[in-house]
Amino acid sequence: MDMLSEATKFITLDPAGIGFLFIVGFIGGLVSGFIGSGGAFVLTPGMMSLGVPGTVAVASNMCHKFPKALVGSIKRYRYGQVDIKLGLFMAAFAGIGVQVGIKIQNFILNAWGQAGSNLYVSVSFVLVLVVVGGIVMIDALKSSRNSCGVEQTCSLALRLQKIELWPMVSFKRANLRISLWFLLPVGLATGLLAATIAVGGFVGVPGMIYILGATSLVASATELVIAFVMGLAGSVNWAMQGMIDIRLTLIILAGSLLGVQLGAIGTTYVKEHMIKIVMGTIMLIVAVSRALAMPEYLGKLGLMDVSEATLALLSKISFGFMVLSLLTGAVIILGSMFKAKRALEPVSAEMEA
Amino acid sequence: MHANKKKPYGKLVAYGIGSGALYAAVYMFQDVIMANFARGGVYTALPIATVFLFSWIHGTFAGTLWQVLGIDAVKKAPAQATAQAPARKDTRPRATVNA
């Protein structure tokens, strides 16, 4: 086994490593079943901290993402929340976005080297998370004050829906009709972000809500279809290069298939704005985490003077914040499910009597 | 949620055994698996097919487990609360008959 793992660049797994991957898989699954994306940003660095090479970590992570998204989207399709047509359109445009994203990455890598590339990833991470996460959070707080908790379609989406620019596309489940020209940038941005920071859902879901005018339930459920298509394509790509450690993938999958179904069930318990609250919270906490990782790249580029000890400490705190973001998401989801279930119990007890 | 509904214990046990057997098989034959699954090329189908198989067997087990534990969806109404832009009025001149 040792010789084999050396020869095939795969690590030997210990029980602690297996336990860690299972738990992160479960919590990541729970969050993605609920908001449509998430978990990957902790799993990849988590695997790397166990000694897995970067490419193998990314590949194994991607290979667990698409079956998880498949199971989650089937579950949410049964609840009537998935718009398959919207998902396929978005996935097609996101596919183009990924290619553009890779070109940009390569350009930056050639011009400024690895540190420049890392800095670009971190800056886009922080910018997108702060801006989009902030918008989502403000909107979630506004709709939580609204006592009935019913979402309002924002005025931008309504205005865009009014523009009759050929070709128009109708989405039955999402209950909207919009020009292809507004769908395209949202899909492209999702792919571009997926290629840059590996979490395209952080713009895909808000994009579908605020630009196209889907509800957060439909947007988060449809994101799972996009994640499935893109994850499958990406996994085939990685598998062709022999980078997937199937044992790692299956361990994460063991936890995440449990989590993703629980998260999907959770969406039927809570008020719609909860999806926005969880998404906004996670995005803002991850933004802090990425901001803490920036001094390292700035140091390598010679733009900042930082000591090794400080960098090691910052990197640990940064990873801690990412774990914290997932845990916070999980606590909000499970907490609100528990609250909703308790509120429902007297009703079902009366019905049984 | 559905206390009067019969819980699918049989299904849970069947898929539980299936899922356990699959994981045991991967653990026992990991040397052969690791040597072949990462070859690339046509061997690409192996890891992809494996995760599909696991997502079916283990996924069904996981779903049934939540059902048995009494954690089930509460409302299955489609989420169609989106407001739509009002339909545009047809402003084109129209031929009318004035008698």
Q: What is the pLDDT of residue A4?
A: 42
Contacts of A184 (CB under 8 A, 6+ apart): A93
Q: Which residues from B are below 8 Å from A79, CB to CB? A: 73, 75-76, 79
Q: What is the pLDDT of residue A51?
A: 86
Along the 353 residues of chain A, how does pLDDT read in single tens digits? 444 444 345 777 888 889 999 999 999 999 999 999 888 888 888 888 888 888 899 999 999 999 999 999 999 999 999 999 999 999 999 999 999 999 999 999 999 888 888 888 888 889 999 999 999 999 999 888 765 555 667 778 888 888 888 899 999 999 999 999 999 999 999 999 998 888 888 999 999 999 999 999 999 999 999 999 999 999 999 999 999 999 999 999 999 999 999 999 999 999 888 999 999 999 999 999 889 988 888 888 888 888 889 999 998 999 999 999 999 999 999 999 999 888 887 766 666 65
Q: How many other CB atoms are found less than 10 A from the CB of residue B80?
A: 15
Interface mutation target, options A250, A272, A338, A347, chain B, most CBs of B under 10 Å: A250
A129: distance to nearest CA of chain B, Å?
25
**pLDDT tens digit string along B1-52?**
444 568 899 999 999 999 999 999 999 998 899 888 988 888 999 999 999 9
Q: Which residues from B are below 8 Å from A246, CB to CB? A: 26, 33-34, 37-38, 46-47, 50-51
Query: Does the complex come out with an ipTM higher than 0.90?
Result: no
Residue A276 and residue A133: Cα distance in Å, rounded?
A: 9
* Residue A99, both tokens: 């290619």
Q: What is the pLDDT of residue A301?
A: 81
Question: Which among A27, A30, A16, A47 is positioned nearest to A262, based on CA atoms?
Answer: A30
Residue A315 and residue A295: Cα distance in Å, rounded?
A: 10
Yes or no, beta carbons of B78 and A173 under 8 Å apart:
yes
Q: What is the pLDDT of residue B85?
A: 60
Yes or no, beta carbons of A262 and B66 under 8 Å apart:
yes
Yes or no, beta carbons of B38 and A10 under 8 Å apart:
yes
Q: What is the pLDDT of residue B56?
A: 96
The full 3-state SS of chain A, as one line of letters, equals: CHHHHHHCCCCCCCHHHHHHHHHHHHHHHHHHHHHCCCCHHHHHHHHHHCCCCHHHHHHHHHHHHHHHHHHHHHHHHHCCCCCHHHHHHHHHHHHHHHHHHHHHHHHHHHHHHHHHHHHHHHHHHHHHHHHHHHHHHHHHHHHHHCCCCCCCCCHHHHHHHHCCCCCEEEECCCCEEEEHHHHHHHHHHHHHHHHHHCCCHHHHHHHHHHHHCCCHHHHHHHHHHHHHHHHHHHHHHHHHCCCCCHHHHHHHHHHHHHHHHHHHHHHHHCCCHHHHHHHHHHHHHHHHHHHHHHHHHHHHCCCCCCCHHHHHHHHHHHHHHHHHHHHHHHHHHHHHHHHHHHHHHHHHHHHHC
Is residue B98 very low, low, confident or very high in pLDDT (cuts 50, 70, 90)? Answer: low
Yes or no, beta carbons of B80 and A175 under 8 Å apart:
yes
CA-nearest residue of chain A to B61? A258
Is residue B90 very low, low, confident or very high in pLDDT (cuts 50, 70, 90)? Answer: low
